[in-house]
Amino acid sequence: MQTLREFTRKTKRGNILKIVREHYLRDDIACGSDLCRQCFQNEVYHLDSRHEIQSSLFKFPHYLVLDTNVVLDQIDVLEEDVLRNVVVLTTVLNEVKHKSSSIYKRFNEIVHDRTRNFYVFVNEHHKDTYADREPDETANDRNDRAIRLATKWYDNHLQASQSSKEFERNGRAVTRVVLLTDDAGNRAKAEAEGILVASAADYVKSLDDFPLLLDKLSHKTFENEKKGLPQYPAHLSMKELLEGLRQKKLLQGAFQASRENYLEGSVNVEQFEKGILIQGRESLNRAVDGDLVAVELLPEEEWSAPSEIVLEEKNVYADEVPSEERAEDEKDMLKQVRAAASSAERTPTGRIVGIVRRKWRQYCGILQPSLIEDTNRHIFVPADRKIPRIRIETRQAAKLQNQRIIVTIDTWPRNSRYPHGHFVRSLGPLGDMATENEVILLEHDVPHCKFSDEVLSFLPKMPWTITEEDYAKRVDLRDLYICSVDPPGCTDIDDALHCRELPNGNLEVGVHIADVSHFIRPGNALDKEAGARGTTVYLVGKRIDMVPELLSSNLCSLVGGVERFAFSCVWELDKEANVLDKRFHKSVIKSKRAMTYEEAQVIIDDSTQQNELAKSLRNLNKLAKILKKRRMDSGALVLASPEIRFQVDSETHEPLEVEVKQMRETNSMVEEFMLLANITVAQHIANEFSECAVLRRHPRPPPSNFDPLVKAARYQGFQVDTESGLELAHSLDKCVKADNPYFNTMIRILTTRCMMQAVYFISGSLQKEEFFHYGLAAPIYTHFTSPIRRYSDIMVHRLLAASIGADSTYAQLLERKANEEICHNLNYRHKMAQYAGRASVALNTHLFFRGKEEDEEGYVLFVRKNALQVLIPKYGLEGTLYLKSDKDGKDGVERTKSEIVFTFNEEDYTQRCGNVVFHSFDPVTVRLSLDSTNVQHEKLIFRLVKPYIKGFSVETTTNETDGQAVATPPPSKKTKKDKKKK
């Protein structure tokens, strides 16, 4: 069974160590082919001779062996369901894992897809294919040799099996093994050894049935490329970089491209607070946003200041040589910047000399229309303005016009202005709702593919029934008057409430949460998938579930009139809402009714209703008010953020109407009890599991965060105290203006922006004092009440269940490190889900305003140097109204001629134009319209209507007719707004 051979390995760890490890070589590793007659195949065959692929290069059935470079560079080709019967060597797998973990992950997914017939062959432990490292041989060479050795062995091994007479009688061609490698040296050696070999590009070209696969090939060099002059300075070699970094001659940091100016960016370096400024194409030296780069600091006299110019790259065409004119353009910009840079504003400036690590990913964008008809070469314009344009080759340009596509960068040679990349896939037509949603999900890294069969296999079998055993284990609460209150249209109901009077006059209140952890057992594929997704993501008109729909909308959802499993938290409260007793148990409930907030409100208000349900709702409402008051008194903050709902057309999914979300008493009623449940559970699990409880904290923001708020309030004559949460809450309550009812809300919106992000953490990782939840003023907090849409709640459910003996513990439950990793992922997913939600709202707002112009009332939220930040309460929308300032450097001559000049007063943050003065929180009327000139970046434009400033404001519709003509500013008076539209 086993043979033994030893091998030695030297590794450097400060001093050189000789490490000796055993390495067992085996004779029981199967080749995985159904043709083989020799190997003992205990598993199903992975390589199936029935799948044949037609290649003009190898006109016989064949298996493929991939070299590491093919996997690394051509992962997009591999992900296409074309190549089958591939032998994956562990040598290759290890190299891929070592070089790029993201590609390793993607590759692993392909390997695991059984329909693709990929077989992992453990060549490193096979007695015939193990290659011992020879003296003076580099690791790379050895790996190449190991790959060739394994290929050769496979070929011989298969031929030995196929030479039998029976096989010949069948008349089938002999299956061979082909090595794919992009390393010319390796190819030459393989040929010399008699191995069938091809480069990935040649092989893909030979597949006549799949011509479009060619698009996905990664190109290191473009064919018949004009060997242009190098446009960029050469990068330093890795060795020079490391040496320079070690000697502190170079600085290392992440490169951040500027959104406004494509010739500018900065590198965040530890030693400098603001980051090092990089200006100009040559200094940027092919760095792409996110890359880890090495920077050389320029001498101080060459330092510059960030330009405030918006510079967008003009359209260029694939075959165009960079024109002189544009080079001039760039020089001009640099000159301007240097000249404008007064000595005070100069910041450390540097140039990039090398790339430590590329952070290239897949980019979303559109194809730039090409001038020449039949060309394969195209320019891709990424949606993200920080990313440069990318040259790609595609044969389906006509089809891809007006589609959103995904492209990835392969290389950026010195003599190419733009990086080279290849087409990955198309998302769909531009402007289509489904496509745009897809873009949002991709950009926010939201996992949204369908649940795999493996995941679905762990769902309960339908029809699902509650067994006697289940009843025996759970407390039967089916007779209680339990009801749920949710927003309209909610199908994933995860909480329900009840309240009844006890004989002793006290009240019993129960919060019943869907028992998701009953269905999702720890460690299985379903659990892992839910953990990876972390949260359900809500887009306008679309929900991306964390758990499959069968659970989220059916078995777990506490719908009315149906028996469901719940995890109950039951308190005994007195009339003053003091908690006298609490208990947790799993239960079976039958919700009497699933209500909307509005319905519940109607029942409470309608005093003619005196049934059990109405009574308990009223009791709950009473208690909630007391609880809320108590919470406020202890310093909980009431924050506001503009929230809106879209009425979406059920067929086109286009927004029809926008409304601001209404807050009713019942909203806050449900919220209070959820908070109470969360806090009660948090206390309990933190006591039971002092090392590994999943909790949520909201750190106190640093005092400097509050500066803008304090200032804004001070100009309005209010004092905001930020010393403690309590003082802040009180001073916010006092910020009321009789003439401006929206003022308090705006102040609260500003406060919200000062806050930190609340995060999940594991109790053992922090001190008790740090558990504090600032916003809620609770010493300890967790999430327990929404297990259908948050994974953290599932973890909390499991902990709680284990602590009350309702469920067994399991290994992972108590592992602090593993749980910390999960928390980290959850925090990330939550943040991304939030951003995705906002992006979706923004997208729908844009769609709503398409082809519309509306005058809306709004308020000035901030006054900036050259603009007003305006908030429109009706849409919860915020935007910038640009003003011209009098000291704009560039075309100052023109500007002075115009009488419409805004003066910014830094003292009290006001903008003045003639006798009109803008303060923060002033009401204004603005005209909203959509600017669609840039198809990828539609944006809302705000134009001033009221107060009316001649020559700047747009005319109101009443005196439109000839007023417009008069008011149209002469060319010299172009406002910045007008310029933008060009």
Partner 1 sequence: MAGNFELLSEQGLRLDGRRPHELRHIKCKLGVFEQPDGSAYMEQGNTKVLAAVYGPHQAKGKKTESNDVIINCQYSQATFSTAERKNRPRGDRKSLEFKMYLQQALSAAIKSELYPRSQIDIYVEVLQADGANYAVALNAATLALIDAGICLNEFIVACTASLSKSNIPLTDISHFEEVSGGPKLTVAALPTAEKIAFLEMSERFHIDHLETVIETAMAGCREIRDILEAAVKEHLVHMGSAADWARVC
Q: Name the residues that contact partner 1, by CB under 8 A.
A: 1-2, 4, 6, 17-26, 90, 120, 122, 124-125, 808-812, 814
615 C-beta neighbours (distance < 10 Å), count: 16
Our CB check for partner 1 shows the closer of 122 and 758 to be 122
The number of residues making up the chain comes to 982
For residue 70, the minimal CB distance to partner 1 (Å) is: 21
Q: Give me 833's structure tokens.
A: 């889900």
289 C-beta neighbours (distance < 10 Å), count: 20
Our CB check for partner 1 shows the closer of 97 and 326 to be 97
Which amino acid, residue 737?
K
Q: Say if CB 204 and CB 213 are below 8 A apart.
A: yes
Our CB check for partner 1 shows the closer of 18 and 226 to be 18
Residue 278 has phi, psi (to 5 degrees) of -125, 125
Q: Give me 601's structure tokens.
A: 């409100």
Q: What phi-psi label fits residue 128: left (phi over 0), alpha (psi between -120 and 50 degrees) or beta?
A: alpha
Residue that has been written with the tokens 């050189």 in this structure: 16
For residue 141, the minimal CB distance to partner 1 (Å) is: 22
310 C-beta neighbours (distance < 10 Å), count: 12
**Residue 233 and residue 220: Cα distance in Å, rounded?**
19
H/E stretch holding 519: helix 516-519
For residue 802, the minimal CB distance to partner 1 (Å) is: 11
Our CB check for partner 1 shows the closer of 810 and 828 to be 810
DSSP tag of 14: S
Which residues have C-beta within 8 Å of that of residue 45, sequence separation ≥ 6? 32, 33, 34
Q: Say if CB 1 and CB 28 are below 8 A apart.
A: yes
Our CB check for partner 1 shows the closer of 90 and 844 to be 90
Our CB check for partner 1 shows the closer of 547 and 762 to be 762
> Which of helix, strand or coil describes residue 796?
helix
For residue 90, the minimal CB distance to partner 1 (Å) is: 8
H/E stretch holding 835: helix 816-849
Q: Helix/strand/coil (H, E, C) string of 639-684?
A: CCCCCEEEEECCCCCCEEEEEECCCCHHHHHHHHHHHHHHHHHHHH
Our CB check for partner 1 shows the closer of 24 and 471 to be 24
Our CB check for partner 1 shows the closer of 15 and 958 to be 15
For residue 815, the minimal CB distance to partner 1 (Å) is: 9
Our CB check for partner 1 shows the closer of 39 and 550 to be 39
For residue 525, the minimal CB distance to partner 1 (Å) is: 13
Q: Say if CB 63 and CB 175 are below 8 A apart.
A: yes
Our CB check for partner 1 shows the closer of 122 and 916 to be 122
For residue 29, the minimal CB distance to partner 1 (Å) is: 8
Our CB check for partner 1 shows the closer of 540 and 795 to be 795
Our CB check for partner 1 shows the closer of 426 and 809 to be 809
Q: Which residues of 650-688 are buried (b: 16+ CB within 10 A; e: fewer)?
A: eeebebeebeeeeebebbbbbebbbbbbbbbbbbbbbee
DSSP states of 730-750: HHHHH--BTTBTTHHHHHHHH
**Residue 881 and residue 863: Cα distance in Å, rounded?**
10
Our CB check for partner 1 shows the closer of 20 and 766 to be 20
DSSP states of 168-225: HHHTPPPPEEEEE---HHHHHHHHHTT-EEE-HHHHHHH-TT-GGGGGG---SS-TT-
Our CB check for partner 1 shows the closer of 27 and 633 to be 27
Question: Computed from CA positions of residues 581, 584, 590, 591, in that sequence, does the dihedral angle turn out positive or negative?
Answer: positive
For residue 12, the minimal CB distance to partner 1 (Å) is: 12
> Which of helix, strand or coil describes residue 301?
helix
**Residue 56 and residue 50: Cα distance in Å, rounded?**
18
**Residue 905 and residue 978: Cα distance in Å, rounded?**
24
Our CB check for partner 1 shows the closer of 121 and 761 to be 121
H/E stretch holding 962: helix 960-967
Q: Say if CB 65 and CB 35 are below 8 A apart.
A: no
Residue 765 has phi, psi (to 5 degrees) of -90, -10
**Residue 881 and residue 894: Cα distance in Å, rounded?**
21
For residue 112, the minimal CB distance to partner 1 (Å) is: 8
For residue 31, the minimal CB distance to partner 1 (Å) is: 13
Our CB check for partner 1 shows the closer of 12 and 226 to be 12
